[in-house]
Amino acid sequence: MSFNTALSGLNASQKHLDVTANNIANVNTIGFKCSRAEFADVYSQSIFSNAKTTVGNGVTTATVAQQFHQGSIESTQNTLDIAIKGDGFLVLSPQVNSQTRTYTRAGALEVNNEGYVVTPQGDYLQVYDTNDDGTVKSVSLDSTKALQIPSTAGRPTMTSKVVSSMNLPANTDPISSPEKFDPNDSSTFSASTSVVTYDSLGNDHTATYYFLKSNQDLSNKAAASTNTWQMYIFMDGKPVDIQNGIDTKYTDTTGTEVKTYDIKCAQLQFDSNGQLIDNTVKGSKTVPQYIKTEKLGEEGEEGAGVLDGSCDGDQVIDFNFAGLTQYASPFSVAKLDQDGSTVGQLTGVEIASDGLVTASYSNSQTTTLGKIAMATFQNQQGLTQIGDTCWKQSVASGEAVPSQAGVGICGKIESSALEDSNTNLSNELVELIEAQRNYQANSKSLTAESTIMNTILQIQ
């Protein structure tokens, strides 16, 4: 029987060595959780044995217990690297539409050729669907989806409104011959500025304002006050009529011969305080602060010919000049915003501490892609290891409890960081020495038993 006792000690020591060696081997494995070999004595007796003289029967491995204490956090330069500061696991799926779930603490993530965020082994990171305000629609592991980062941002939005805030210099000399306005000759206008707008397909078009301080009131063909201006709008170099504008002309000198064309411009008047006057209520053709273009579609009676037939030709743009003033200071533009957008290209991804994933695009749009799904367990040590620093639930661990970063016992997420292995190399080296000594001691017990048996066999 003593042979078996010594042999059980050897087996236990070997198990101790194996566990320790595995911990040491994974000292640099991201998200690795070390294990500890735990042993129990073997003791058997019957109702007919004397408990006072019964000897134990050796040792057995009770369990190899995983240790889920926090590993150190290491900063990286990759936004998609994430570490959990506290309890909880990231949720993974082996396929895009699979309902199988595995769990990990290793947040070294990357993007595959389809834009999905995956682990180096190809498992898909799961996220919850979110509302517009970033809250989760349903906290359920069955409703999670694979996180995908689109390289472009949605559909384009055509421009319908431009909001401007600028100052026209009050001390500018009036143009003596406003009928000779030529957008290619800076001496025929007083100031100009441009804004980029978008059509229904996301094509960009440059709208240019030309401001001309005039000594003529074009609405009644009379001399004007010194606070009268005309404004012309051109898009991509083509004239655009203003609804309810004043009929006038402009000169084109870009060709081999000078040509004159009709155009409807806006006439602006300012009071003695430099504020824009709205005279439309009095029946005047003076255009107020809200100026609307004609249709920008194909050229004709109602079209400016700026847009081709592939996009929405009924597009019109409202120009809001509520912030337009005339002060004795140089021409300046304080604000020039428009509400359109083109298809944006991905410029960055951000992961917040609560797991909310947002993508930024070149068209200034920001899109919420989801909130990283997390899970906790009643008994972490009951999880089944499946390799690649992943676990799956078991009867011992209990069902996965869906959660979110920073909620309940779940820790917060730190982006551009990774959780190192929680293996303490110094402790493991000491464990290695202890396991080696125990192995040697049990070997001595086996040798001693063998010597005794030889002595008995040699008795004559």
* One-letter amino acid of 181: F
For residue range 12-71, list pLDDT tens digits in order: 889 999 999 999 999 999 999 999 999 888 877 666 666 666 677 788 888 999 999 999
The pTM (predicted TM-score) of the whole model is 0.70
* One-letter amino acid of 237: G
Q: What is the pLDDT of residue 443?
A: 82
Helices 425-457/2-25 angle, 10° precision: 160
Query: Pairing between strand 318-327 and 161-169?
Result: parallel
User: Residue 306 has which token pair?
Assistant: 């700026």
* One-letter amino acid of 16: H
Give dist(CA 55, CA 420) in Å, integer. Answer: 45
- Residue 204 near residue 156 (C-beta atoms within 8 A): no
Give dist(CA 460, CA 456) in Å, integer. Answer: 9
Give dist(CA 195, CA 193) in Å, integer. Answer: 7
Return the residue matching tokens 């917040």. 352
In sequence order, the β-bridge partners of residue 118 are: 110, 124
Q: Degrees (nearest 5) of the Cα angle 273, 179, 326?
A: 15
Segments of the chain with pLDDT less than 50: 281-287
CA distances to 16, 35, 140, 391 from 38, in Å: 8, 10, 36, 21
Give dist(CA 192, CA 211) in Å, integer. Answer: 6
Give dist(CA 353, CA 368) in Å, integer. Answer: 14
Annotate 262-305 with DSSP letters as a single string.
EEEEEEEEB-TTSBBP--GGGT-----SEEEB-B-SSSSSSB-S
Give dist(CA 162, CA 340) in Å, integer. Answer: 9
User: Residue 421 has which token pair?
Assistant: 């292995």
Q: Find, among 56, 58, 61, 70, the residue nearest to 17 by Cα.
A: 61
* One-letter amino acid of 38: E
Q: Find, among 410, 421, 408, the residue nearest to 375 by Cα.
A: 410
Q: Degrees (nearest 5) of the Cα angle 61, 66, 72?
A: 145
Give dist(CA 437, CA 367) in Å, integer. Answer: 60
Q: What is the pLDDT of residue 226?
A: 72
Give dist(CA 230, CA 287) in Å, integer. Answer: 10
Q: Identify the structural domains of the chain with CATH numbers, from first to last.
A: 2-69+422-457 (no CATH), 73-151+377-419 (no CATH), 161-338 (2.60.98.20)
Full 3-state SS string of 54-110: CCCCCEEEEEEEECCCCCCEEECCCCCCEEEECECEEEEECCCCCCCCEEECCCCCE
